[in-house]
Chain A
């Protein structure tokens, strides 16, 4: 599904990723772990076509090289990206946010059958959004905003869903809901690439783990290899032994 080989990426001249290789196989999930500032978001952005730009290496999606493509083309190929910090359009209503997510569907009218169907599916999956469809997105609670962000990414009917710390800043019960949802999506056949800090919860939906440190792959393997608590501790404490805030 997604194959990244030896990716080096930079914000202008500032390199933040070096020789990163990872893959997400169809129908499986890969989680990316790493300390604050390790380069996780940068990696996801590079995959989606936002800065940092690839300076070397290749990103192959669905058998095609998408390394230099514009973001909207990658999304049209079937990548859904839920950015960190519940990135939604706060000044638009819930329904408008969902419609924005549907621009990749055929046609430019808002009432096409495909669009209606996608809306119906979203509201069926997230009843709370249906209730608040006319409300401004910025007025939703944190959990609802995160649901909206995911629902929006699902509107384009992606094959691969990329999520950046979807649990950040949410109450524990809602975190549970989020992971339940991710598990459900995975069962429905969606491939998943997830960046998380809440390792215990993340591991429940993971098939494969990649640890990024200082912009490089520090460790990588099937989830069972990471059962050893010492490895997890290393991730959390970092090599220098300083605890990581928020962990």
Chain B
């Protein structure tokens, strides 16, 4: 069970990346490769808040939420907007990779490559739950990820704004001639994705520490998560992340530690080949 918990914790990290990818993808059709870096920056913002400024945790979370949302908005302005104006979504994919490199580079230059420990609001003595051990902050991370994932899934299915963003994802021009301000929605999606990354920075950083390399570690598996779960499906991405994490942990534990990447990418390929829309890509559409 400890292995499962471990899988759920890394799974939660991957799910958070998947949620960020999907939020932007759904509203503006752009795959924001830099989302892993936004999460990385969130851990630094949370470090600044909790350690450097000695803020109580609610203020740390607020500070990180705003800070990362602002970074995301700047990213949209600088790296995405000019290309969307030229209707060049493929180039936008490349500029997000560029933005990603810039962010991790800046973090490394300003903060150094050594990990920084965040101040944690609660005792982190391990708990034994269902026969497995897990740190309280990690448990909170799993719960928060589930809550955010389900929340944003139902919000995007139920609220007018959510449905509007799904419409933009499906057909940008058609949505704009239904009266939807697609640019505003695009910036909004970046801000929301950044805000979610910021808000979870403290929980993520409690597990991973603040390190510049975090973004790169996350980016790839977040991608696998949405490939498994189905791009554009928030629920799929959420589950895809957890599944990726559990496969990863179980294969590291039982098959051998050389194999987790191979197994995860094997599953990834199998899904791509047999169900290109992801395991949940279609099913979800019908269920909800």
Contacts and interface: CB of A to CB of B under 8 A. Distances in A.
A70 B164 contact: no
B160 A75 contact: no
Interface string B148-179: 00000000001111011011001101111111
Given A96-B163, A110-B159, A110-B160, A103 B180 contact: yes
A225 to B, nearest CB: 32
B167 A100 contact: yes
A217 to B, nearest CB: 24
Interface in A92-141: 92, 96, 99-104, 108-110, 136
Contacts of B177: 48-50, 71-72, 75, 81, 83
B182 interface: yes
A90 interface: yes
A151 to B, nearest CB: 12
Contacts of B159: 108-110
Contacts of B164: 100, 103
B181 interface: yes
Contact of A89 (B87, B167, B182): B167
A14 B175 CA distance: 25
B178 A101 contact: yes
A72 B160 CA distance: 16
A91 B179 CA distance: 19
A133 to B, nearest CB: 14
A158 to B, nearest CB: 10
A176 interface: no
Interface residues of B, number: 23
**A interface: dominant SS:** loop
B253 to A, nearest CB: 39
Interface string A75-92: 110000101000111111
A100 B183 contact: no
B285 interface: yes
Contacts of A156: 178-179
Contacts of A51: 87
A100 B173 contact: no
A103 B188 CA distance: 16
B180 A70 contact: no
B57 to A, nearest CB: 31
A217 B105 CA distance: 57
A50 B176 contact: yes
A67 interface: no
A60 to B, nearest CB: 19
A92 B180 CA distance: 16
Closest 8 CB pairs of A and B: A75-B179, A104-B179, A71-B176, A110-B160, A81-B177, A100-B167, A72-B181, A87-B174
